[in-house]
Amino acid sequence: MTEAHEIEFDVASALAQGARARQEDALAVAFADGAPDGFAILSDGMGGHASGDLASRAIVAEVFAALTLQGFSQKAGAPDALRKAVEKANTGLKACVEARPDHSGMGGTVVAAHVKGRALHWVSVGDSVLYLFRGETLSRLNADHSMAPQLDLMAANGAMSEAEAAAHPQRNCLTSALTGDPIAEVDCPDRPLDLNPDDILVLASDGLQYLPDPIIEALLLRARNEPSRTIAHDLLEALETLNDPEQDNTSLVVIRPTRIKRRERQGGLFQTSSAMLKAVRRAVTPSVPIEPRAP
Q: Can you tell me the mean pLDDT for 42-58?
A: 86
In a domain, 293, yes or no: no
pLDDT, residue 183, reads 97
Render pLDDT for 107-139 as a digit per residue (tens, 0 to 9).
Answer: 999 999 999 989 999 999 999 999 999 999 999
More confidently predicted of 261 and 122: 122
CA distance 39 to 41: 7
In a domain, 277, yes or no: yes
Q: Which residue range forms the structural domain that includes residue 70?
A: 3-283
Residues 269 and 35: beta-carbon distance below 8 Å: yes
User: Which among 83, 131, 128 has a CA at the least distance from the CA of 107?
Assistant: 128
**pTM (2 decimals)?**
0.84
Checking if the pLDDT of 286 tops 60, the result is: no
**What is the DSSP code (8-state) at residue 30?**
E
pLDDT, residue 178, reads 96
In a domain, 290, yes or no: no
Residues 107 and 176: beta-carbon distance below 8 Å: no
Checking if the pLDDT of 170 tops 60, the result is: yes
User: Which among 192, 174, 194 has a CA at the least distance from the CA of 184?
Assistant: 174
In a domain, 33, yes or no: yes
In a domain, 289, yes or no: no
pLDDT, residue 49, reads 52
In a domain, 157, yes or no: yes
Q: Where are the alpha helices (DSSP H) in the chain?
A: 49-70, 78-99, 148-156, 162-167, 213-222, 228-242, 273-284
pLDDT, residue 102, reads 83
Domain count, the chain: 1
pLDDT, residue 72, reads 74
In a domain, 294, yes or no: no
Q: What's the start-to-end Cα distance of the chain, in Å? A: 45
pLDDT, residue 5, reads 45
pLDDT, residue 75, reads 60
In a domain, 288, yes or no: no
Give the Cα-Cα-Cα angle 112, 231, 282 (nearest 5 degrees): 50
Checking if the pLDDT of 290 tops 60, the result is: no
pLDDT, residue 262, reads 55
pLDDT, residue 7, reads 84
pLDDT, residue 276, reads 43
Query: Which positions ≥6 away from 175 have C-beta within 8 Å?
Result: 145, 146, 147, 184, 185
Q: Can you tell me the mean pLDDT for 149-176?
A: 90
Q: How confident is the model at residue 217 (pLDDT cuts 50, 70, 90)?
A: very high
Question: What does pLDDT average to over the chain?
Answer: 86
More confidently predicted of 49 and 76: 76
CA distance 283 to 66: 14
CATH of residue 9's domain is 3.60.40.10
Query: Which positions ≥6 away from 223 have C-beta within 8 Å?
Result: 230, 231, 234
Bridge partners, residue 262, by sequence: 4
